Amino acid sequence: MGQTSNLSALFSPRSVAVLGATAEVGRVGYNILASLIYGGFTGEIYPVHPRLTELQGLKVYPSLREVPAAPDLAVIALNERATVAALEECGRCGVRAAVCLAGGFKETGPAGAQLEAELVAVARRFGIALVGPNTLGMINTCANLYATFYPLRLAGGGVSLISQSGGMGLTMLYKAVDQGLGINKFVVVGNRSVLDVADYLAYLGDDPGTRAIGLFLEGVDEARQLVQLAGRINRVKPVVVYKAGEGEAAAYAALTHTGSMVGSHRLYLDACRQYGLYTVNNADQVITALKAVTTAPLAHGTRVAVVTHTAGPGIVLVDRLTAGGAVFPPFSPETETAVKKVMGENPPVVIKNPLDAAGTGLSPDVIGELTAVVQADPAFDLVLVVFCLHPNWPFPSRQLAALAGVKPLVACYISTLAGIREEQDVLAAAGVPVYNSLEEAACAADALMWFGKGGN
């Protein structure tokens, strides 16, 4: 593990200095400062530049030594050689944490590796908690801290993300926005020269604001120790893992991206499963699973029922979920009787699981009543409801929200994202995750069952 004693200064600083702040809109230094301001950071912000006096409405200081008080955090937006000197100055001025954005270190070869060794030596000498180098930065929505060069404002929530890639980190963040999922903390680890993935994971494992954690990994040096740590945390809060680098070409790409040796993809996945971690195949599934486990109660078994007004999606969900170990028991005689009471004694469909209510099910009240009947059947641990967007048949969100909490409900509204925007808010507040694709709904249900049975 790396230098961890100053992680509180990293994630919750009272003041931030930006070294390399500039007036040029296309430069990283400009956008770091813009990000801090746009994100609403309420502490002191100290732009540092030797020749400027004002930037984006803030006073500029000619050097870090001229700043009125030592900032808790410095964000260094300079080239790789200047970064080492700047970190030295940070240490001499009492800065406790730093984000080093520049690339050009060990991922580029021996000369870069030597330069990174110098950076590490400085950080260790002064006890600086250092993110990067070669990083997009980090976010803590609880502190309105957006120390990245992509200005953002995110809804707060209980999910925290660790990524070895800036682009993959942004992929997860933007998917979270689409899914209406709130973010707590976010960090792109870059080259992991001082702080490694395990350091951030341990911090988030103890963080009261973090309810679940998503990881995007390329490769780490001590994979088994990381997985064991994640497994311990996973007993308290869910950990979802997306591991890249399955083929040789991807392994080489990772090495030249963040200097990471990928290791055996299959061994990684086997180890994750051994320690109860939920592994997924893409960044979208990270967010899909995290949304499910932070919205709905966990399922206490693998028995699933589907309620819909269109048969095809039910067949697809059976395919997807049985592959992961789910089962679809038949309805009890009592449930069949109750379904007929809702639909009429001679419904134009076969009463079975998945339940296709056909035209009768176009009414949100009918879908709500059928869901309540199926949910009450003790043969089921989780219920999936599928409904298609239509201008004259409203989604059954109010009806499903009234049923939330008895056992896990997952809604799949076949729609555009814009079409379910308001529904997401209503259902999330009630404890029902909603998705607009069958694949996402299946992933969500699978995650609820995986974590509900203890991750095995």
Whether the CA torsion 368, 287, 428, 381 is positive or negative: it is: positive
CA–CA separation, 340 vs 344, rounded Å? 5
CA–CA separation, 284 vs 50, rounded Å? 43
Listing DSSP states for 13-42 in one string gives -SEEEEET--S-TTSHHHHHHHHHHHHT--
Helix (H, G, I), strand (E, B) or coil at 55: strand
Mean pLDDT of 189-209: 96
The pairing of strands 156-163 and 212-217 is parallel
Q: Which of 397, 392, 341 is nearest to 370 (CA)?
A: 341
Query: 48, 18 in Cβ contact below 8 A?
Result: yes
CA–CA separation, 371 vs 350, rounded Å? 16
Listing DSSP states for 362-390 in one string gives GSHHHHHHHHHHHHT-TT-SEEEEEEE--
Prior bond to 347 cis, omega within 30? no
Please provide residue 307's backbone torsions phi and psi, each rounded to the nearest 5 degrees.
-125, 125
Q: Do domains 154-295 and 296-452 have the same CATH topology?
A: yes
Look at domain 296-452 and name its CATH class. alpha beta
Query: 77, 17 in Cβ contact below 8 A?
Result: no
Lowest mean pLDDT among 145-154, 267-276, 416-425: 267-276
**Angle 9-14-15 (CA atoms, 0-180°, nearest 5)?**
100
Instruction: Please state which architecture CATH assigns to domain 1-134.
Output: 3-Layer(aba) Sandwich (3.40)
The pLDDT of residue 282 is 96
The pairing of strands 382-388 and 355-356 is unpaired
What's the mean pLDDT when you consider all of the chain?
A: 93
Please give the single-letter amino acid code of residue 256.
Answer: T
Please provide residue 90's backbone torsions phi and psi, each rounded to the nearest 5 degrees.
-60, -45
**Angle 240-242-247 (CA atoms, 0-180°, nearest 5)?**
155
Please give the single-letter amino acid code of residue 12.
Answer: S
Please provide residue 48's backbone torsions phi and psi, each rounded to the nearest 5 degrees.
-120, 125
Q: Please write the tens of the pLDDT for every residue from 247-262.
A: 554 444 444 544 454 5
CA–CA separation, 398 vs 418, rounded Å? 18
Please provide residue 380's backbone torsions phi and psi, each rounded to the nearest 5 degrees.
-120, 140
CA–CA separation, 82 vs 87, rounded Å? 9
The pLDDT of residue 456 is 62
Q: Which of 227, 222, 219, 217 is nearest to 263 (CA)?
A: 219
Query: 410, 435 in Cβ contact below 8 A?
Result: yes
Q: Is the pLDDT of residue 125 over 60?
A: yes
The whole-model pTM stands at 0.93
Neighbours of 124 (CB within 10 A): 14
For the chain, give every domain's residue range. Answer: 1-134, 154-295, 296-452
Q: Which of 388, 342, 348, 389 is nearest to 368 (CA)?
A: 342
Mean pLDDT of 186-199: 95
Query: 149, 101 in Cβ contact below 8 A?
Result: yes
Helix (H, G, I), strand (E, B) or coil at 243: strand
Q: Please write the tens of the pLDDT for every residue from 331-363.
A: 999 999 999 999 988 777 889 999 999 999 999
Instruction: Please state which architecture CATH assigns to domain 154-295.
Output: 3-Layer(aba) Sandwich (3.40)
The pLDDT of residue 262 is 52
The pLDDT of residue 248 is 52
268 band by pLDDT with thresholds 50, 70 and 90? confident
Q: Is the pLDDT of residue 322 over 60?
A: yes
221 band by pLDDT with thresholds 50, 70 and 90? confident
The pLDDT of residue 270 is 85
Please give the single-letter amino acid code of residue 32.
Answer: I
CA–CA separation, 32 vs 18, rounded Å? 7
Listing DSSP states for 352-364 in one string gives -SSEE-GGGGGSH
How many residues make up the chain in this entry?
A: 456
Q: Please write the tens of the pLDDT for every residue from 7-16.
A: 999 999 999 9
The beta strands (E) that lie in 189-233 are given as 212-217
Q: Please write the tens of the pLDDT for every residue from 358-400.
A: 999 999 999 999 999 999 999 999 999 999 999 999 999 999 9
Q: Please write the tens of the pLDDT for every residue from 422-445.
A: 999 999 999 999 999 999 999 999
